[in-house]
């Protein structure tokens, strides 16, 4: 059974659908890249999966259960972790407090593990998150989602606005995220680099899926590569 099964899903703001009839599934242990140009509807699709944007038709099943009736908070508490593209940390809280706001039983232990995995954050733990550099901020955004040990991690353009060196660093971190019980949905404009670390990919254009399949095949498709993957090659 897939961890996440979407669709055919449509949704948007007000009267107009931003994305239409999108279907895909995601299993544990894999990274699935969701790519497409700006305005292709990928961020809106993610928001609809999270319950931050209304869907107009279709279903989203997590671990076999339809999640339409779950509140945003409930989705988080039941194992869907989300790292937004911007505003993904609480700027006026310290780094440590950003980790503490995730309510888990063995919080101390998990925060200690987080610092072991992200030593740069431990060095800044008393600083306000608003004062972090772009790379540190992105690390904190990912680290704070991992505290609750989500089963599905959704990352919305985690490398946007980062320098090339930091981009590689963040992709390294993402590559290590999947585990036997955990799947990752990676929304990226840097499609080539994202597909290189993914099992499968979905490419969206104007609110619809225009290509989907194993990442290797998508990368090998010359026409597709020219149209969608060339930007960062």
Smallest distance, another protein to C-beta of residue 162, A: 19
In this structure, are residues 150 and 79 in contact, taking their beta carbons and an 8 Å threshold? yes
Q: Is 116 in the site for another protein (CB under 8 A)?
A: no
Smallest distance, another protein to C-beta of residue 12, A: 17
Q: What does DSSP say about strands 60-62 and 4-11: parallel, antiparallel, or unpaired?
A: antiparallel
Phi-psi region of 21 (alpha: psi -120 to 50; beta: other; left: phi over 0): left
The window from 33-41, 96-104, 178-186, 214-222 that contacts another protein (CB under 8 A) reads 96-104
Q: Is 102 in the site for another protein (CB under 8 A)?
A: yes
Smallest distance, another protein to C-beta of residue 104, A: 9
Q: Is 151 in the site for another protein (CB under 8 A)?
A: no
Cβ proximity to another protein, 143 vs 197, nearer residue: 143
Q: What is the C-alpha to C-alpha distance for residues 87 and 123, in angstroms, rounded to an integer?
A: 22
Cβ proximity to another protein, 187 vs 211, nearer residue: 187
Q: Which long-range contacts (CB under 8 A, 24 or more apart) does 45-49 make?
A: 45/6, 45/9, 45/11, 45/18, 45/19, 45/204, 46/82, 46/154, 46/156, 46/185, 46/187, 48/9, 48/11, 48/19, 49/4, 49/6, 49/80, 49/154, 49/185
DSSP secondary structure string for all residues of 17-38: -SEEEEEEEE-TT-EEEEEE-T
The window from 6-14, 37-45, 66-74, 213-221 that contacts another protein (CB under 8 A) reads 66-74
Q: Is 197 in the site for another protein (CB under 8 A)?
A: no
Smallest distance, another protein to C-beta of residue 133, A: 17
Q: Is 63 in the site for another protein (CB under 8 A)?
A: no
Q: Is 16 in the site for another protein (CB under 8 A)?
A: no
Q: By CB under 8 A, name the binding residues for another protein.
A: 50, 52, 71-73, 75-77, 82, 84, 87-93, 97, 100-103, 130, 144, 148
């Amino acid at each position: 059974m897939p961890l996440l099964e979407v669709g055919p899903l449509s949704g948007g703001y007000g009267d107009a659908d931003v994305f239409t009839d999108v279907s895909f599934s995601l299993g544990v242990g894999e990274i699935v890249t969701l790519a497409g140009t700006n305005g292709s509807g990928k961020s809106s699709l993610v928001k609809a999966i999270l319950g931050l944007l209304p869907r107009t038709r279709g279903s989203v099943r997590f671990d076999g259960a339809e999640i339409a009736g779950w509140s945003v908070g409930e989705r988080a508490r039941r194992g869907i972790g989300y790292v937004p593209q911007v505003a993904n940390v609480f700027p006026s809280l310290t780094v440590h407090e950003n980790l503490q706001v995730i309510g888990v039983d063995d919080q101390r232990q998990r925060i200690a593990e987080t610092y072991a995995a992200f030593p740069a954050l431990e060095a800044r733990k008393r600083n306000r998150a608003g004062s972090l550099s772009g790379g540190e901020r992105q690390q904190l955004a990912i680290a704070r989602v991992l505290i609750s040990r989500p089963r599905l991690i959704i990352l919305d353009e985690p490398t946007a606005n980062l320098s090339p060196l930091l981009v590689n660093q963040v992709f390294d971190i993402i590559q290590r995220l999947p585990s036997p019980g955990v799947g990752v949905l990676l929304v990226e404009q840097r499609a080539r680099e994202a597909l290189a670390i993914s099992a499968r990919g979905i490419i969206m254009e104007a609110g619809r899926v225009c290509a989907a399949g194993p990442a290797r095949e998508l990368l090998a498709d010359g026409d597709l590569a020219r149209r969608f993957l060339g930007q960062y090659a």
